Structures are given as C-alpha cells and as structure tokens.
C-alpha cells in the first residue's frame, strides 16, 4: 500500500508541475482511486483469509493470488493512463530542452 500511495504523491506532483487539464486530472484521480481501492480490498481479503485459515491451504492461496492479481491489473491500467497523460508532455519537455543544448 505504501508503494501505491507514494506513486500517487508522485503523480499528483508531476501533474501539477506539467499543468494537466481538468479531464486529465479526472482520469488520473480515477486511476489512482482504482488502484487504492483494489489494494484495500486485497488487504481485506488477505486478512480475512488469514483469520479463517491459519495454516497453508491451497484454495486460500489461490484466492489470495486472484486478489493480488486484481491489484496488479489495476496498477497496469493506471500506468497506461499515466503514460497517455504524461508521455506527450514529457516528450515535449525533452524536445524543448534539446533545442537549448
């Protein structure tokens, strides 16, 4: 969860620095919320599974893997949203810097 929250802080700082528009802010916020919500649900599922079954159980392990996979999937799509929003601006900044070098 800390990694995701740290990424959220970086996204907010980068978006503010690059001056993204309202619609892009909305997309970024939805993506960040999606990952944070998925992480919270994953944490709840893992806690519940650990409460129900203290020892190793293959079915519980599969359930935990599926929940963790959902977080990964949300993070991949959030990264795609970030790429769509940030890459054109970052490439423009690099291009502008190359003109001055």
d(CA 52, CA 32): 30
Known catalytic residue at 39:
yes
Provide the terminal-to-terminal Cα distance of the chain, rounded to the nearest Å: 40
Active-site residue, from 39, 46, 53, 95: 39
At 21, which helix (H) or strand (E)?
none
Contact predicate 35/76, CB 8 Å: no
Catalytic residues, by residue number, are 39
């Amino acid at each position: 969860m800390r990694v995701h929250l740290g990424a959220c802080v970086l996204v907010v700082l980068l978006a503010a620095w690059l001056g993204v528009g309202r619609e892009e802010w909305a997309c970024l916020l939805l993506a960040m919320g999606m990952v944070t919500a998925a992480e919270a649900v994953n944490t709840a599922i893992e806690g519940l599974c650990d409460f129900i079954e203290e020892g190793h159980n293959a079915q519980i392990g599969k359930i935990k893997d599926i929940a963790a996979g959902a977080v990964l999937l949300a993070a991949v799509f959030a990264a795609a949203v970030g790429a769509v929003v940030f890459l054109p601006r970052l490439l423009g900044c690099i291009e502008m810097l190359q003109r001055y070098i």
